[in-house]
Amino acid sequence: MLKPAASDAAAATFLSYCGSGFAITARINGLLAIAMKCRYGSLGILYLLYDYTHAGRRKCMADVVSSDYVRARWAYSELLSVGHGHLYLGEGVPELREKVRQKVPFGELGKAEHYLLVDQFDRVRGRYLNRYLIGIASFQLVRWTRDNLAAVHVIPYFVRDVSSLEYLKVTFKQWIEAEPVRPLHQDHAHYAAYGAAPPTQDDPLAVGKYSDLPALLDGYHRAVRFWSRNDPDATLPVYVPFEAKEALHLSDLF
C-alpha cells in the first residue's frame, strides 16, 4: 500500500463522518482517499495516487472517443448509402468511397481523412443534426439491450411519422409500435426489418441530446432490425454522450 503524504489530519476530518459499514471518498493533497469504518468500529484508509485512479478506468476510457470521431465514422458509414451517399462530394471523397467498397475499416484511416469526413458530415448532415450534439465533447461506446433501446427518444424528423405533433416527445418503443400517420417509402427505417441488412450493419448507433433527453440520432435501420429480433439478452453497440465521473467508489476497485 502506498504511504500517504502529510494528509493524516485532513483524512481524520472526513473519516469522522463515516458511519458503521459506510464508505466515502475524498481528494486530499492530490491523492484519492477511500475511508471506511468496519462493523467493529476500526478505521481503514486506502490511499491511491490520482493517476492510479484513472488507470483503474483504463477499460472504460479506451471506449471514449471525441465528437469529431463519431461524426467522421458516421459520414464514412454512409458514403455508399442510397439515401445520402450521393450528397458527399468534393476532393478526396471518391478515394474514401473506394475504401468503403474495399471494406477498409474506419480505424485504418488517417487523421487527414478524419478531418475531411468531419467537414463532409457538417456539410451534408450538420445543418440539421449538429443541434443534437451541442455540448457533447466525447462519446463512450457501450452495449445496449432491447430495454435500453426502448427508452431512448426519437428526433422530431421521425416523430412526424407517427404524430402530427412533430415536437412531441416519443420513445423508440412508442415510435416503432405506432401506426404511421403518413405514407412512408418502403426503404424507410420503420420497415427496415423487412429488408436486407447493409454492410454497415455492425456500426454503432449514435445518441445525442434532444431537450436534455437522450435521443437516437444515427442507426434507425439497425435499431429496427435489432428490435425485431425480440431477444432480451441480445445487445448492440451504441455511442452515448460521455460524462466523466470525478469520484471513485469501492465498487470501482473490487
* Each residue's pLDDT tens digit, 140-192: 999 999 999 999 999 999 999 999 998 899 999 999 999 999 898 888 888 88
The domain total for the chain is 2
For residues 117 and 153, state if they share a domain: yes
For residues 50 and 170, state if they share a domain: no
In terms of Cβ atoms closer than 10 Å to its own Cβ (0-12, 13-18, 19+), residue 214 is middle
Output phi, psi for 39, to 5 deg.
-65, -15
Does pTM top 0.75 for this prediction?
no
For residues 145 and 48, state if they share a domain: no
For residues 186 and 226, state if they share a domain: yes
For residues 159 and 94, state if they share a domain: yes
Question: Does some domain include residue 3?
Answer: no
pLDDT at position 149: 97
Question: Does some domain include residue 74?
Answer: yes
pLDDT at position 188: 83
For residues 133 and 23, state if they share a domain: no
Torsional sign, CA 12, 14, 16, 20: negative
For residues 174 and 149, state if they share a domain: yes
Question: Does some domain include residue 31?
Answer: yes
Parent domain of 29: 8-55
CA–CA separation, 70 vs 68, rounded Å?
5
Among 145, 75, 147, 153, smallest CA distance to 109 is for: 75
For residues 47 and 98, state if they share a domain: no
Residues 84-143 pLDDT 10s: 999 999 999 999 999 999 999 999 999 999 999 999 999 999 999 999 999 999 999 999
CB 24 within 8 A of CB 17: yes
